[in-house]
Each structure stands twice: as structure tokens, then as C-alpha cells.
Amino acid sequence: MKGLKPLLQKIAKLRILVVGDVMLDHYIWGDATRISPEAPVPVVDIARDSWTAGGAANVALNIASLGARCTVAGYFGLDDAGQRLTTILHGKRIATVTTPGAAPTIVKTRVLVQHQQLCRLDREAPPTAYHVPTAKAESLLAAEIAACDAVILSDYAKGILNDDIVDRVTALARKAGKFVALDPKPRHKLAFHGLDLITPNKREALQLAGIEPLPHTRFPAAEVCAQLHARYATRNLVITLGEDGMLLSKSGKIVKTIPTAAREVFDVSGAGDTSLAGLVLALTAGATLETAALFANAAAGVVVGKIGTATVTPEELVAYVDKQP
């Protein structure tokens, strides 16, 4: 990838605001050598616990890891999990904006046995518990939007983002001339229009386009891109295709498909967050859509080679790209 180091230098001067569903990722590491006498399930001997930021907070971690400044706005509960999540983010020099409420912090606990995920345990309240009045959200975010170079709306359908919040944040960002990106969750059915970037995966793109694919048929890329542009008028569209790479589209037309950069895949947790962070950083730094996709694809290629929700540093990215054919 040409021009990587100059691009990273431009990225280091950026400030990004992430708004969305923050959560704490908890990992229980252990081993299982026997079946419980109480039920046909493995007995896990716990070796250690670890915690990191998940959801929108993981997008923020990836932005900071790649060298840019970042602020993340979301719901941090007044509990041990909220305090732990805040401490993790502040430790990476990520500023936090807390929305009001009395709900628990969202926590995802993954049990891993010999680096294989055995199960996941989720702690969260109903989405209504995380809703924020639009006026309150606007007062919390207006100064942050004015100070940033780009806004990322990271939707995990947990309740922070709704139509009013998306509409108001987008309006404030547009007025200030800021880049706006959304990672959508179609089951949430957010109303959005005219954004600079959306980054659905293959399944999400089909749902957003209202297309029900026939079994054993190829992904209808041209139809999906045309439908998404007609419905949402997004300037740039990047559909993540998993092992097939990334599909790039502008104005409803296919630009290119970028093959995946990953050579070894250990864990795809958070890879979408890494891709989103990389795309927004590169595009905001002035890169073309193709260059931004190559940058994001390489960053995700590093992350999936690690266990658990992970990030990538500029040094790791340069070393990874230098090794590619």
C-alpha cells in the first residue's frame, strides 16, 4: 500500500467523535477437562479474567490506537462495569461523555477454553432504559461536534441511537462541515439520509436494501448498491463481505471489490469496528475511497490475527503491510 506513512501522519492530527452503544467486553480464560456430574456441560477451570472496551467504545479504542484523538459518547452506568470501562478508555487518552440514566452498563462476557469461545453471557437492560432526550443529547454533544473532524454513529441496537438523535447529530455535524459515518443495524430501522459513509456487512446490506436473496445465489451486489443509494443517498458505501473482502460503491455504482488482507484468522470479534475506524480516519484525512478501504482492510487483517476484541497500532500496520506480496 503506497503512501501509508504519510497517511498515518495526517491521521495523527485528527479528532474523532464516536456516538453509540458502548459496552464492556469481559473475557474468562480457562480450560475444561471434564464434564459436570450435574449436567452434560463442561466444567471450566478459570485461569484469569480480562476486560476491554466493546461496541462503540471499541471503535474509539481503534481510533486512538491508530494515532488520532477521540471522544466517545454513550451510556456508562454508575456501577463497577461503568467505572472499569471509563478507566480503560481514559487510560488510552480517550475522553468520555456520559448520558444520564440508572440502567446497568452493558457487559458481554465470553468464556474461552483453550482460546475457543465456549459461550457468551450478556448483561443489559431493555433499549428504552438507554434512551436520551434529544435536547439533552444535543446539549452534551454540540461542543464535541464543533471540535471534531468527523462523527461516527456506532449502532449496536442497544438504545442510545434513535431517529431523533441521529437526525440532530447529523444536522449539527453538517452545519459544521464534519464528515458523518454510520455503522447500521437494520433491525433497529434507524432513519438516516445523505451521510458520508455507511458500513453494513453483507447480511445487513441486504436487509437495508429490502432484498430477500434466493438460496444458493450470488450476492446481488449491483442491485444492493443501487437500492441503498436510492433509499439513503449515502455518498460512500462500503459493504464488508467477510472472507471475500470489501465492496466499494459511490452514487449507487460499484467502484471495486477489495480482497481480504487477512492471512491468519483467530478471532473476528471487533474486526468490523476496526474497519469502520480505519475507513473514517483515512477518508477524513483525504484518502480516496479505494485507499481508505485498503487501509481499513489491512488494519482488520492485523486484528483478526489476535485473540479477543483487539486494536492495531501504526507500527503493527506498517509491519503487516510491508510483509504483504
The string of pLDDT tens digits covering residues 111-127 is: 999 889 999 999 999 99
Give the position of cell 468490523: 272
Q: Which residues contact 59 (CB under 8 A, 6 or more apart)?
A: 18, 20, 72, 152, 154, 183, 273, 276, 277
Lowest mean pLDDT among 64-73, 142-151, 158-167, 236-245: 236-245
**Is 42's pLDDT higher than 60?**
yes
Q: Is 105 helix (H, G, I), strand (E, B) or coil?
A: coil
Name all domains of the chain by residue range, CATH numbers in brackets: 4-34+43-323 (3.40.1190.20)
What integer best gives the mean pLDDT of the chain?
92
Q: What is the pLDDT of residue 263?
A: 56
Between the CA of residue 196 and those of 2, 113, 214, what are the distances in Å?
24, 41, 31
C-alpha closest to that of 292 among 302, 305, 277: 277
Between the CA of residue 168 and those of 20, 175, 191, what are the distances in Å?
14, 11, 12
Indicate the pLDDT class of residue 309, thresholds 50, 70 and 90. Answer: low
Instruction: Report how far residue 104's alpha carbon sits from residue 57's, in angstroms, rounded to the nearest whole number.
Output: 16
One-letter amino acid at 273 equals: D
This prediction has a pTM of 0.92
**Is 92's pLDDT higher than 90?**
yes
Active site residues: 273
Q: Which residues contact 6 (CB under 8 A, 6 or more apart)?
A: none
Q: Please indicate whether residue 119 or residue 311 has the higher confidence score (pLDDT).
A: 119
**Is 187's pLDDT higher than 60?**
yes
% of residues, the chain, pLDDT over 70: 96
Q: What is the pLDDT of residue 311?
A: 86
Between the CA of residue 259 and those of 105, 150, 155, 233, 280, what are the distances in Å?
37, 27, 26, 25, 19
**Is 325's pLDDT higher than 90?**
no
C-alpha closest to that of 101 among 137, 68, 61, 71: 137
**Span 11-37, pLDDT tens digits:** 999 999 999 999 999 999 999 999 999
Q: Please indicate whether residue 189 or residue 84 has the higher confidence score (pLDDT).
A: 84
Instruction: List residues bridging with 51 in a β-sheet.
Output: 26
Asked whether the beta carbons of 276 and 182 are under 8 A apart, the reply is no
Burial 62-101 (b: 16+ CB within 10 A, else e): bbbbbbbbbbbbbbbbebebbebbbebbeeeebebbbbeb
**Is 41's pLDDT higher than 60?**
yes
Q: What is the pLDDT of residue 18?
A: 98
The DSSP call for residue 201 is: B
Three cell numbers at 24? 464492556
C-alpha closest to that of 133 among 109, 178, 101, 107: 101
Question: How much is the average pLDDT of 174-203?
Answer: 92
Question: How much is the average pLDDT of 188-208?
Answer: 92
Beta strands in 155-244 (DSSP E): 179-183, 197-198, 236-240
- Measured in degrees and rounded to the nearest 5, phi and psi for residue 257 equal -115, 125
